[in-house]
Every structure is written in structure tokens, then in C-alpha cells.
């Protein structure tokens, strides 16, 4: 396992309640949305397996008309980047994703009274930036604890078993009428989401959730809340002081930790709840991050929200390796979710693919070459219109050699819906190059 890329979500599935028993468990993982997925045909002698071949399960296509590669049972492998005992929420709960009913207006409220109060309660002599105590006094009313429940029915007993799995996370208020920004993995799979403000519990609706970016937006029926003032994550500098606020361990809401920006634009691969791999570009900080902090805020020393905390290193030998979604990214995703019900403009090719990296898998599929093979093509998709077929082995995309599943995702993700890409595949011993105009990924494909 690559020790440099062992990250875990600060999972919402922090504790597990079965019946009346509740116990804490450490949890973790992360993920990659590979909506455009994998490989092609055979012929010749298989090249030696290299560590670059890292099979990752692809998300399943919805029930449409498919052309499938019937060459035996496909073995799905998972990259073991994170192996944490995550109790709880698997599945694709997206809540009530509604379209134009919800339009979020980020409030840049006048906080002079709040700042004056924070300054008055501090012994700091002031300055261009606030002290940690001043920032804490200013921003903690905007960060809220989130608890979640998922009801699971098991069939292993005579009468069936009803279990409730519970989790905890954090969220940041971004409008005074009850919109809250959090991480998708905090609420994914939850049947009930509760936000607590000043000891009052509010039932929350998930109005938008995007696993690929790990961003979700909640709505509670409340007025007069204190929204965080949104800053500019593009203006951050390495070494700049920051403060993280959240709900570690699920019962320590309002916890404040401080640190610095350790790195910007850090490319991190994280294994998600469903085993897929997310490639995210995150802010790295050494502010203390613990399970339950996910969805909480990372603030600069002006008290502005610059990131949404979402991951930490799972390596027990590593300290001070926390990560946050840049707020510019999170707000952009949130606006799209609320206005469209999904993140617009994402490319969609319409294939499912698998990595063949060993003789056993090759035999299962009935192929002789190792590589990335297409196993399913969605009828009417860009791939279908381009003439791609199940059994094709993807050799290159836009001239770049395809050696692993991640190569396919990374190249396609560099494009937008409407772009045309060139795909070379091997089919029945022949090389074939086709052009495909990428469609748009929506909840329906």
C-alpha cells in the first residue's frame, strides 16, 4: 500500500447503535466517482503486470439498455488505500434533490457588531488579523453538530432484525434561513439527519449531495441563524494561520483547533464508503482533525470560511495531516446542486470498464492481454454512438497511453460535456480509433 496516499474521511459513521447499545468506533475511507469507466479487446501476449494496474470498482450504471461483455464473471478489486472499519452508511442517499425551488444566496453579512463583541471579550491588542480566541468567538455560532441515523433490516434471525446505525459529523451555516454546508459522506445513506443549534434539534432535509466532490447541502426550518462569512480559498498562502471548528467524536461540538495551511492544491486519492476512489484537490492543514470533524469549517484569521474539513491521514505514524475542501469549490458545487439538482457540465462517456491485471481475471473474461477492458456500453451514450463495444481494450485516449483505471478517469475528467475525445481500442487483434463527443453526467445516467 502506498503510505503517501492513505487518507480517511472523518466519518459520519462515528458510533453504532444497535437496539439500546451504543459504542464508539473509529471509521474512515474516501472515494472516486468514475462515471466514465474502463477497457477493451485482446490479442498477443500479455505484458507483465506492473504496480500501475490498480483495479477499482466502477459505479453501476442505472437500469438502461446495455450491451454486456459476457465472458464469465467479472472480478471487482478494490484499491486498499484505506482499510478502516467504517460502521454505517453505505449507499447512495441523495435526499430530496430539487431543482430551481432552491437558490442559495451566500450572505456577506455586516459583522461589525459580532467583531466588536469578540474583541471586547479578548485580551488581544488587536491587529490586522484577529486572535484565535476572537476567531473562535466569531465563528463557533456558525458551526453545528449533525447526527444521522440509518435503519437497516437484516434477515439472519427468525423474526428479522431492525437495527439503527448512527453517525455524527459537522456542518457550517451559510444562510440565515437554514442552509447548511457539509460533506456528502456525513449524510450519504442516512434516513434521518438532525442538526442541533443551541440545544434545539432540527430535522434536516438533504437538498443536494455530490459524492464526487464530497459536498452536500442541508436545509432546516429555522430563521435568524448566524451564517459564516465566506472567504476566498484562492487567496490562501502556505504557512497562513487557520482555525478548524467542528464536532469531534460526535459529542464535542464547538471544538476549536488551530494550525497553519500546510499545502495548497494537494491531490489526494481517498477511498469512499462504496469502495470507489475519489481524486480530490484539497487544502492540507496541521490543525487537529478527528472523526466527527467532517463537514466542519476551516477559517482564516479574519474569521472567514475558507474550507470544509473532510479527511485525515489514517496512518497511525502520521500527525498533523488534515484536509479540507477549498470553499471556492464547495460553494460552486453547492450552488449547482441547489439550482440543478446535480453538478452540471461533468463529462459522461457511458462505459463500464475493468482492469485485467492477472491471469485469473484474464481467464474469467476470456482475454489474453492485460489492460483496461470495456465490459458494458450504455445504449445511446457517447460511447455507443462512437462505436465502442464490450470487449474492447482501451489502448489510449487523446494519445495518452492507458495503463490503469485511474488513467481513464483522470483524462476524461480534464474535459467537459460537449468536448470530443479520441479513443484507440484493440478489437479482435486490430487497432481502431474513434471520436466520441462527451455527454453530460446527470442523475439519470
CB 282 within 8 A of CB 310: yes
φ, ψ (nearest 5 deg) of residue 205: -105, 135
Q: How far apart are CA 122 and CA 191, in angstroms?
A: 42
CB 353 within 8 A of CB 68: no
The total number of residues shown for the chain amounts to 445
Is residue 294 among the annotated active site residues?
Answer: yes
Place of cell 488581544: 124
CB 408 within 8 A of CB 396: no
List 294, 381, 382, 404, catalytic entry: 294
Nine cell digits for residue 63: 437500469
List 214, 376, 392, 406, catalytic entry: 214
List 16, 66, 102, 185, catalytic entry: 185
How many CB atoms neighbour CB 108 within 10 A?
10
Nine cell digits for residue 235: 487567496
Cα 315 from chain centroid? Answer: 20
Is residue 262 among the annotated active site residues?
Answer: no
Cβ burial of 357 (10 Å; 0-12, 13-18, 19+) is: buried
Tell me the sheet residues that pair with 401. Answer: 396
3-state percent helix, strand, coil for the chain, nearest multiple of 5: 15, 35, 50
**Cα 60 to Cα 281, 311, 377, 383, distances in angstroms:** 24, 25, 12, 16
Nearest to 9 by CA among 31, 28, 26: 28
Nine cell digits for residue 4: 503517501
DSSP 360-406: HHHHHHT-SS-EEEEEEEETTSHHHHHT--TTPEEEEETTEE--SHH
Is residue 185 among the annotated active site residues?
Answer: yes
**Cα 262 to Cα 241, 259, 326, 370, distances in angstroms:** 10, 9, 13, 40
Nearest to 168 by CA among 190, 139, 198, 152: 190
Nearest to 30 by CA among 268, 287, 352: 268
Q: How far apart are CA 403 and CA 352, in angstroms?
A: 16
Q: Which active-site residues does the annotation give?
A: 185, 214, 294
Amino acid at each position: 500500500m502506498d503510505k503517501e496516499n492513505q487518507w480517511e474521511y472523518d466519518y459520519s459513521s462515528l458510533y453504532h447503535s444497535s437496539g439500546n447499545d451504543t459504542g464508539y468506533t473509529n471509521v474512515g475511507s474516501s472515494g472516486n466517482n468514475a462515471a466514465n469507466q474502463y477497457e477493451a479487446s485482446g490479442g498477443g501476449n500479455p505484458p507483465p503486470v506492473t504496480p500501475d494496474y490498480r483495479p477499482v470498482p466502477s459505479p453501476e450504471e442505472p437500469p438502461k439498455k446495455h450491451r454486456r461483455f459476457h465472458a464469465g464473471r467479472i472480478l471487482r478489486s478494490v484499491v486498499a488505500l484505506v482499510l478502516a472499519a467504517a460502521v454505517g452508511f453505505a449507499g447512495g442517499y441523495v435526499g430530496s434533490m430539487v431543482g430551481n425551488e432552491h437558490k442559495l444566496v451566500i450572505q456577506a453579512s455586516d459583522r461589525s457588531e459580532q467583531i466588536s463583541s469578540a474583541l471586547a471579550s479578548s485580551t488581544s491588542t488587536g491587529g490586522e488579523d484577529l486572535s484565535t480566541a476572537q476567531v473562535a468567538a466569531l465563528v463557533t455560532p456558525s458551526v453545528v453538530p449533525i447526527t444521522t441515523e440509518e435503519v437497516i433490516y437484516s434477515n439472519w434471525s427468525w423474526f428479522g432484525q431492525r437495527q439503527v446505525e448512527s453517525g455524527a459529523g459537522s456542518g457550517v451555516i451559510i444562510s440565515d434561513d437554514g442552509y447548511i454546508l457539509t460533506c456528502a459522506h456525513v449524510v450519504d445513506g442516512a434516513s434521518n439527519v438532525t442538526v442541533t443549534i443551541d440545544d434545539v434539534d432540527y430535522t434536516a432535509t438533504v437538498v443536494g449531495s455530490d459524492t464526487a466532490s464530497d459536498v452536500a447541502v442541508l436545509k432546516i426550518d429555522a430563521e435568524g441563524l448566524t451564517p459564516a462569512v465566506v472567504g476566498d480559498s484562492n487567496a490562501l498562502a502556505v504557512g497562513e494561520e487557520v482555525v478548524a471548528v467542528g464536532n469531534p467524536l460526535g459529542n464535542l461540538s464547538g471544538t476549536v483547533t488551530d494550525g497553519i495551511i500546510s499545502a495548497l492544491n494537494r491531490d489526494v486519492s481517498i477511498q469512499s464508503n462504496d469502495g470507489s476512489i475519489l481524486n480530490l484537490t484539497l487544502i492540507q492543514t496541521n490543525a487537529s482533525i478527528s472523526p466527527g470533524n467532517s463537514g466542519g469549517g476551516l477559517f482564516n484569521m479574519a474569521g472567514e470560511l475558507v474550507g470544509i474539513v473532510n479527511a485525515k491521514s489514517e496512518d497511525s505514524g502520521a500527525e498533523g495531516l488534515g484536509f479540507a475542501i477549498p470553499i471556492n469549490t464547495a460553494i460552486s458545487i453547492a450552488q449547482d446542486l441547489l439550482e440543478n439538482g446535480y453538478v452540471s457540465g461533468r463529462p459522461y462517456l457511458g462505459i463500464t470498464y475493468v482492469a485485467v491485471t492477472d491471469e485469473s481475471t484474464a481467464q474469467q473474461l476470456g482475454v489474453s492481454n492485460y489492460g483496461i477492458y470495456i465490459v458494458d456500453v450504455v445504449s445511446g451514450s457517447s460511447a455507443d454512438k462512437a462505436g465502442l463495444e464490450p470487449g474492447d481494450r482501451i489502448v489510449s485516449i487523446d494519445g495518452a497511453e492507458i495503463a490503469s483505471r485511474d488513467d481513464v478517469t483522470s483524462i476524461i475528467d480534464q474535459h467537459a460535456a460537449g468536448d470530443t475525445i479520441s479513443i484507440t481500442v484493440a478489437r479482435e487483434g486490430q487497432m481502431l480509433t474513434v471520436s466520441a463527443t462527451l455527454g453530460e453526467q446527470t442523475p439519470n445516467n
